[in-house]
A and B are shown apart, each in its own frame.
Chain A
Amino acid sequence: MEGKVKSKGVPIGVRRIIAYAVLILISILCLFWFYVLFVNATRTNSQISSGFSPVPGTNFAANWSNLVHGTLPIVQGMLNSFIIAGGSALLCVYFSTMTAYAIHAYEFRLKKFMYTFILAVMMIPTQVTALGFIKLVQKLGLENNFVPLIVPAVAAPVTFFYLKQYMDSNLPHELIEAARIDGCGEFRIFNTVAFPLMRPAIAVQAIFTFVSSWNNYFTPALILHKDNVKTLPILIAQLRSADFLKFDMGQVYMMIAFSIFPVIFVYLILSKNIVGGVAVGAVKG
């Protein structure tokens, strides 16, 4: 068989070499920017403006302390981002699992309607309702408040859909029945039987929700105006709109690194779950 392939097309060894070469090239294309970011975050402003060098400098700590003591409330910003992203992730996975459980475990009249409805609204972007959202937030007096950025995570159609798919193949109805026979209440069955069984899928979705909330710029920028509540993306936009050349570039790179590297770090630890989880939800094959 090998012989046939060889005679017909490019030999497998050559194809393999081409594949590796392209893959390595593409990997460099992905990583190069972050490498430059890392190097420049460790160099002084004058070193950076005198040209690029592939060797990291020694100014990491100084850039960091300049940034922290600078005008942008960056540590507060990270804390705010963390509270919002963490809160969203927790609420999102708990209540999305609950929603999925409602559709999975029970038979009721509106079940099919609800399921179809949630799938139908899955793709609608939040931006198109942003105007009404701002009006609502203003009316409720929740500007500069984290509540309107965290609570909406309870209703997350995409997370729901992913968890529902996972539930279909991992939460047998017999298990729920058995718990009922043991005399468990419905709410307790959900919390002690269903929820723990969903842990792998929940972990993946918690990460995705956390990251997308952490990275979100559009909505927070519309409702967070005071300095002490701003999140990292808003501060970055602020940095961008300030007169660029006046800045110490070491600090600028440090700030970007500060927003990007924590996510990269966590990602590298959990990459197996994340990359494996991407395909499961979206493609039903």
Chain B
Amino acid sequence: MKNNHKAVSYNKWGYIFLIPFVVVYVIFQLIPLFTTIYNSFFENFMSGLKQVGPNFVGFQNYAKLFSEGDIWVYLQNTMIMWILGFVPQIAVSLLLGAWFSDTMLRLRGQRFFKTVIYLPNLIMASAFSMLFFALFSDGGPVNTILVSMGILKAPYRFFSHVWSTRALVAFMNFLMWFGNTTILLMAGMLGIDTSLFESAEVDGATSTQVFFRITLPLLRPILVYVMITSLIGGLQMFDVPQILTNGTGDPMRSSMTLIMYLNKHLFNKNFGMAGALSVILFIVTGILSLIVFRFSGNREKTR
């Protein structure tokens, strides 16, 4: 009884301590979200020096967005570059994670390797992209090295070809994220009951069999988590292609991503279209994060 009384008198502090979060969240996230949705229903852009709108137009911005078709092209670009980076990312991460967590293998220098592979994740993406732009430019070090080694006859113009530009974006995403994924997957692998590995060993399973029959199936929840969070991150792809292509998404807008498209509308003050695009991205990421949320919620319960 006494305890209960005490608890009641303290618990108002729960609300008090939540005030900063709630106030800042409402001002800088929630209100902007509603303004964004609100703006998506208005025609509001600059035509030369003339301001058009804001006039209420209902769902016209959405209709225009889809009928113009650019959004599909940019969605496709974004997905292609995401997949090109994600497939090697998950493959390499699984391999390294399995090696790092393998007690039989007893790899030395694990801390060094983990430090190195995680490093690119912390690098400023814009500076890293600028670096890659300089390194892979027509007269840049990569071309000079490849030519002097006799692999190429003449410098290859990486940024003038669709697939080399996309591949570079994907490669940079891979470099920046595989270390992170490795560490996540490794944590998952270390969580697997070691007696399973031991009994498989006794039964004479090879390490390949152990990997595909035990590790991989048990890792599925984490793999799904990694994949969906990476997809959400992939949809936000911006810094790398923006800097590499100087915001143009060239060649022929083949590396223009959805957020670059949004950024363009925002800079041109085409707020109606920017709003509609934002809302669509919001809905898509919302659905995706709901899936992640469900997944982690389920795991919490089953634990």
Chain A residues in the interface with B (C-beta under 8 A):
1, 4-5, 8-10, 12, 15-16, 19-20, 22-23, 26-27, 29-31, 33, 36-37, 40, 48-49, 51-52, 95-96, 98-99, 101-103, 105-108, 110-111, 114, 118-136, 148, 151-152, 154-155, 160, 180, 186-187, 190, 211, 214-215, 217-218, 222, 232-233, 236-237, 239-241, 244, 249, 252-253, 256, 259-260, 263-264, 267-268, 271-272, 274-275, 278-280, 282-285
Does residue B60 face the partner (Cβ distance < 8 Å to A)?
A: no
Who on chain B is nearest to A31 by CB?
A: B116
* B interface majority secondary structure: helix
Besides A130-B266, A218-B263, 14 more A-B contacts (Cβ < 8 Å) are A9-B206, A15-B105, A15-B207, A40-B134, A99-B21, A121-B29, A123-B232, A123-B292, A124-B289, A131-B271, A154-B20, A155-B28, A190-B17, A267-B122
Would you call B202 an interface residue if the criterion is a C-beta within 8 Å of the partner chain's C-beta atoms?
yes
Q: By the criterion of a CB under 8 Å from any partner CB, how many residues of chain B are at the interface?
A: 114
Most chain A CB neighbours (cut-off 10 Å) among B32, B126, B275, B296: B126
For the residues of A in contact with B, the DSSP-based class is helix
Please tell me which stretch of B45-53, B62-70, B72-80, B183-191 contacts chain A, meaning at least 4 of its Cβ atoms lie within 8 angstroms of it. Answer: B183-191
State in angstroms the CA–CA spacing of A282 and B290 once bound together. Answer: 16
User: Could you tell me the distance between the alpha carbons of A187 and B278 in the complex, rounded to whole angstroms?
Assistant: 40
Q: B118 touches which one: A10, A96, A275 (CB < 8 A)?
A: A275
On whether the beta carbons of A260 and B123 are closer than 8 Å, the reply is yes
Question: What is the number of contacts between chain A and chain B, taking CB atoms within 8 Å?
Answer: 319
Q: Which residue of B lies closest to A263 (CB)?
A: B122
Do A129 and B29 form a contact, CB below 8 Å, given A123-B229, A190-B17, A233-B127? Answer: yes
Contact A125 B180 (CB under 8 A): no
B271 contact set on A, CB distance < 8 A: 131, 135
Q: Are B141 and A131 in contact (CB under 8 A)?
A: no
Q: Across the two chains, which residue of chain B brings its CB closest to A39?
A: B141
The reply to whether the CB of B83 lies closer than 8 angstroms to some CB of chain A is no
* Cα separation A249 to B36 with both chains bound (whole Å): 42
The verdict on A160 contacting B105 (CB below 8 Å), with A40-B141, A52-B141, A237-B242 known, is no
Q: Cβ of A27: which chain B residues have Cβ within 8 Å of it? A: 113, 116-117
Distance A275 CA – B131 CA, assembled complex (angstroms): 25
In the bound assembly, the distance between CA atoms of A124 and B266 in angstroms comes to: 19
Find chain B residues with CB under 8 A from A283 CB: 184, 187-188, 191, 222, 225
Let me know if B36 and A155 touch, CB within 8 A: no
How far is B271's CA from A10's CA once the two chains are assembled, in angstroms?
61
Contact check, B289 vs A123: say whether CB atoms are below 8 A apart: yes
Q: Which A residues are in CB contact (< 8 Å) with B132? A: 33
Please give me the residue from chain B that is nearest to A94 by CB atom: B20
Residue of B nearest to A272 (CB): B111
Looking at the assembled complex, report how far the CB atom of B38 sits from the nearest CB atom of chain A, in whole angstroms. 8
